[in-house]
């Protein structure tokens, strides 16, 4: 996570199941506006939210339409969220809208694998995954989606997450900036 200053938006529960980045935000982060549609997830995150070193408020219920002014955030963070938001293009467009020019979106997402053999299985299993995993897609091309939304992907590391299948663990970790 970089040291972007000021307020930050996260398009879902920032203390979620895997909870990779958060709790100890960099000193420059002053507050976090979380967008989380699921009451249960928000309740489960309670203890971690209270332990966070910056105030985290549930400020929106749908990443596809967020109640924030244009150009109001310095940074955004998304972890394993772009797989599940139904209209991912709308959510990315909202992030672009509320980020200041030059603001960054830091992401850790799973999606379309780099290898064709894995992609074949992802395409086969995608409909099942969507049904059993709350609308989660296996085949979203994360970098392409970011670029289509107008972000510039500054760096990205694509790898298979340890401890899960290649089908569900094709991860993209990186930083994109808003023009």
Contact set with ligand SAM (CB under 6 A): 11-13, 16-19, 35-38, 41, 62-64, 79-81, 84-85
Q: State which residue, 16 or 103, has the beta carbon closest to ligand SAM.
A: 16
Spell out the residues 6+ positions from residue 41 whose beta carbon is closer than 8 angstroms to its own: 12, 13, 16, 17
User: CA nearest 93: which of 150, 131, 141, 38?
Assistant: 150
Q: State which residue, 47 or 116, has the beta carbon closest to ligand SAM.
A: 47
> Least distance to ligand SAM from the beta carbon of 137, Å?
11
Helix, strand, coil percentages, rounded to 5, for the chain:
25, 30, 45
Spell out the residues 6+ positions from residue 20 whose beta carbon is closer than 8 angstroms to its own: 79, 108
Q: State which residue, 34 or 143, has the beta carbon closest to ligand SAM.
A: 34
Q: Phi/psi of residue 158, each to 5°?
A: -110, 125
> Least distance to ligand SAM from the beta carbon of 64, Å?
5
> Least distance to ligand SAM from the beta carbon of 62, Å?
5
**Contact assessment for residue 57 and residue 32, using Cβ atoms and an 8 Å cutoff:** yes
> Least distance to ligand SAM from the beta carbon of 24, Å?
15
Q: State which residue, 12 or 74, has the beta carbon closest to ligand SAM.
A: 12
d(CA 155, CA 178): 13
């Amino acid at each position: 996570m970089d040291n972007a200053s000021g307020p930050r938006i996260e398009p879902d529960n920032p203390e979620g199941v895997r909870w990779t980045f958060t709790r100890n935000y960099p000193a420059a982060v002053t507050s976090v506006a979380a967008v989380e549609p699921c009451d249960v997830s928000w309740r489960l995150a309670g203890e971690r939210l209270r332990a966070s070193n910056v105030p985290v408020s549930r400020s929106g219920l749908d990443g596809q339409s967020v109640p924030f002014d244009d150009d109001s955030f310095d940074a955004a963070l998304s972890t394993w969220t772009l797989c599940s938001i139904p209209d991912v293009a709308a959510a990315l467009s909202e992030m672009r809208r509320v980020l200041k020019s030059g603001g960054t979106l830091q992401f850790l997402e799973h999606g379309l694998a780099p290898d064709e053999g894995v992609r074949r299985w992802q395409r086969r299993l995608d409909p099942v995954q969507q049904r059993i995993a709350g609308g989660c897609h296996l085949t979203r091309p994360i970098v392409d989606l970011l670029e289509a939304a107008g972000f510039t992907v500054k760096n990205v590391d694509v790898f298979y997450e340890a401890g899960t299948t290649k089908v569900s663990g094709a991860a993209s970790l990186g930083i994109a900036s808003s023009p």
